[in-house]
């Protein structure tokens, strides 16, 4: 082999290596910038257009507690994975454990919102066990109704406030410290697999009040608090939807999780409605939202090689990556004014 050939080959290798290192450094720089507005368990999840969608595992699970995270294939969304939280310790039926997961939220549009979480009974062969958790929303009002209207006259509120409110009853069963016992009753064995997960959040033993509400009179920051009751009750996500938004719209599994708000950032620094990818990890289709208009997307593998290029014109796009090998990929765009890089995990 001639020296000139060795030189050319070595030169090309160094050039390609430097180009790849520059690509990785660009990714790191952009991600570090974007992380200042990413959800970190402390920043408030921001309601938009009357909907707030929170992945339960995105909260801060108290260190050293028996809160765990699990995952499984989603029977209702092809190619998707459910990441969920569950309590793996002693059951607390009479009172909250005090090992509470707090989700900070930001409401932009005041009103009365229904909360429902998507859950599954993860243990046993009964629809009435391993099926509940403690729930509290710090709002201007927190109550439950038997029918779908928040103005229903059949209203419950948790103890102790219900004990001094002549217009509302206390729930049958456990309630204290402002917490409802919130449960579901989808059978873990008798129902088909695709029916075991669902947005079901009831309260009141033996006579379910199926609608839990919170009223926010003014825009601002509030809290949702979840504490352990049963073990092995799997909780995937929770959704707050204003009373003028339908369940079918709010509970659409293709909805992206809500973005988080950082008051320390001006809107000229970071757009709080950053590009969202859902589901991620994924086996196939991914949904993209908040895209810059008329942009070209590029997917690269971990080595920096381009594997896909897509031109998009709208703010939302669905992309099928079922043909890609399992691994980590990076999605970027060519708009220098609205540049982003997102990590995709293909499973």
Q: Which CATH architecture has domain 14-38+274-346?
A: Sandwich (2.60)
Distance CA 26, CA 275 (A): 17
Contact, 44 vs 260, CB < 8 A? yes
**Given its phi and psi angles, is residue 195 left (phi above 0), alpha (psi -120 to 50 degrees) or beta?**
alpha
pLDDT in tens, 273-308: 578 888 888 888 898 888 888 889 999 887 778 899
Cα 149 to chain center, whole Å? Answer: 26
Confidence bin at 264 (pLDDT 50/70/90) = low
Q: What is the pLDDT of residue 27?
A: 46
Is the pTM for the entire model greater than 0.75?
no
**Domain map of the chain by residue range?**
14-38+274-346, 45-250
* DSSP sequence for 228-277: E-STTEEEEEEEEEETTS-HHHHT-TTPPPPPB--TTS-TTT--SS--EE
- Pairing state of beta strands 220-228 and 101-107? antiparallel
Residues in the chain: 347
Identical fold, 14-38+274-346 and 45-250: no
HSE of 234, CA atoms in CB hemisphere, 13 A: 19
Using DSSP's 3-state secondary structure scheme, residue 301 falls into strand
pLDDT in tens, 24-64: 444 444 443 333 357 888 899 999 999 999 999 999 999 99
Residue with tokens 């994975």: 81
Checking if the pLDDT of 11 tops 80, the result is no
* Among candidate residues 328, 309, 308, 280, the one with its CA nearest the CA of residue 79: 280
Checking if the pLDDT of 95 tops 50, the result is yes
Task: Identify the H or E element spanning 10.
Answer: helix 3-34
Q: Does domain 45-250 have CATH number 2.60.120.260?
A: yes
Distance CA 340, CA 318 (A): 17
**With the C-alpha atoms ordered 84, 90, 96, 98, is the resulting torsion angle positive or negative?**
negative
Task: Identify the H or E element spanning 33.
Answer: helix 3-34
Residue with tokens 């038997």: 146
Using DSSP's 3-state secondary structure scheme, residue 137 falls into strand
Checking if the pLDDT of 130 tops 90, the result is yes
Residue with tokens 């799997």: 234
Range in 7-16, 60-69, 228-237, 251-260 with the lowest mean pLDDT: 7-16
């Amino acid at each position: 082999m001639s020296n000139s050939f060795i030189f050319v080959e070595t030169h090309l290798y160094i050039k390609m290596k430097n180009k790849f290192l520059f690509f990785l450094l660009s990714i790191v720089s952009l991600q570090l910038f974007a992380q200042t507005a990413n959800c970190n368990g402390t920043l408030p999840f921001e309601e938009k257009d009357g909907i707030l969608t929170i992945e339960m595992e995105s909260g801060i699970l108290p260190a050293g507690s028996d809160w765990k995270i699990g995952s499984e294939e989603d029977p209702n969304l092809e190619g998707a994975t459910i990441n969920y939280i569950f309590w793996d310790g002693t059951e607390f039926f009479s009172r909250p454990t005090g090992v509470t997961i707090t989700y900070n939220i930001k409401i932009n549009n005041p009103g009365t919102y229904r909360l429902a979480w998507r859950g599954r009974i993860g243990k046993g062969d009964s629809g009435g066990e391993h099926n509940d958790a403690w729930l509290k929303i710090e709002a201007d009002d927190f109550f439950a109704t038997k029918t779908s209207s928040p103005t229903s006259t059949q209203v419950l509120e948790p103890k102790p406030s219900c004990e001094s409110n002549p217009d509302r009853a206390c729930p049958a069963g456990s309630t204290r410290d402002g917490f409802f016992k919130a449960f579901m009753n989808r059978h873990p064995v008798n129902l088909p697999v695709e029916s075991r997960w669902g947005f079901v959040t009831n309260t009141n033993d033996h006579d379910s009040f199926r609608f839990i509400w919170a009223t926010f009179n003014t825009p601002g920051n509030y809290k949702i608090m979840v504490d352990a009751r049963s073990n092995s009750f799997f909780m995937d996500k929770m959704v707050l939807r204003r009373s003028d938004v339908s369940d079918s719209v709010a509970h659409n599994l293709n909805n992206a999780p809500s973005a988080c708000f950082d008051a320390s950032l001006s809107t000229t620094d970071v757009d709080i409605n950053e590009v969202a990818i859902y589901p991620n990890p994924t086996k196939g289709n991914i949904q993209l939202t908040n895209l810059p208009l008329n942009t070209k997307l590029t997917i690269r593998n971990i080595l920096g090689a381009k594997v896909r290029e897509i031109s998009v014109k709208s703010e939302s796009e669905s992309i099928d990556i079922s043909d890609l090998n399992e691994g980590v990929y990076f999605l970027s765009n060519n708009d220098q004014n609205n540049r982003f890089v997102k990590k995709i995990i293909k499973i």
